[in-house]
Amino acid sequence: MFKDLPSYLESCVERYNRPSFIDNDPVQIPHRFGKLQDREIMGFWTAMLAWGQRKTIINKSLELIELMDGVPHDFMVNHQETDRKRFLNFKHRTFQATDTLYFLEFFQQYYRKHHSLETAFAEHLTEMPDGSLPQTVEKALIGFHETFFSLDVAPQRTRKHVATPIRKSTCKRLNMFLRWMVRSDDKGVDFGVWNQIRPAQLLLPLDVHVDRVARKFGLIKRKQTDWLTVLELTDYCRSLDPTDPAKYDYALFGLSVEGEI
């Protein structure tokens, strides 16, 4: 179908990795803020809600912003217990009040002690015995999950909303969030505001759209769609660009959503 697939994918990255992509994508939510911590909080929460129709995801995220008086970080650090009552009716699919209240608790405790959410991921990417850095963010995702649910009040049911490679999940939403925060270019979609994680370590956010197109192109051989599939697809993308494999998310996702494949 394509005599030069790498060149075709590169052209698709250029086509979709541009500001117009923001208009209909959940990444528009953190783009509403200039403050690092606001982008982190709403970027993370939006990513965790990112299943279903993109329009619904965006609307639910806007609802959260309104509940936080338009200032997510300030609200997290300074709100009182009584302020959480307004969130009791917030829900999105299986994300319910119990989950919302725990997110509020974690963010309040975390941001009262830490400057950036990046630390909760990057601190787990320690050097290998030979002094090299891990090739991927796998350890960061595993460690973040442990950090996020380290509070004594962490509900068991909320764990399903924050994935981990330990459960063989594709961790699509977490990888998407990391792409937003870590990738840095001049296109204006991803923020590139974190520097303790390298773009070369990012993994593809594998959802049904990316999976479908990648299989059409023969980029995935594995029958299942799980964590090992993410590694397989990312390995291919890394062979095309070792410094920035996650950029091909734009090509694979865009081709599916636009109906070209």
Question: In whole numbers, what is the pLDDT of the chain averaged over residues?
Answer: 96
Question: How confident is the model over 90-107, as a mean pLDDT?
Answer: 97
Residue 45 burial (CB count, 10 A):
24
Structure tokens at 72: 């997510």
193-217 pLDDT, tens digit each? 999 999 999 999 999 999 999 999 9
Question: Of 187, 143, 208, which is closest to residue 27 (Cα–Cα)?
Answer: 187
Residue 3 banded pLDDT, cuts 50, 70, 90: confident
Question: How confident is the model over 237-251, as a mean pLDDT?
Answer: 98
Question: Of 44, 51, 36, which is closest to residue 114 (Cα–Cα)?
Answer: 36
120-143 pLDDT, tens digit each? 999 999 877 777 778 999 999 999
**SS3 of 92, please?**
strand
pLDDT at site 224: 97
CA 129, 133, 136 angle in degrees (round to 5)?
Answer: 120
245-261 pLDDT, tens digit each? 999 999 999 999 887 66
Residue 185 burial (CB count, 10 A):
13
Question: Of 84, 118, 132, 133, which is closest to residue 104 (Cα–Cα)?
Answer: 84
Global pTM reads 0.96
pLDDT at site 1: 54
- What angle do the packed helices 36-48 and 54-67 form, to 10 degrees? 130
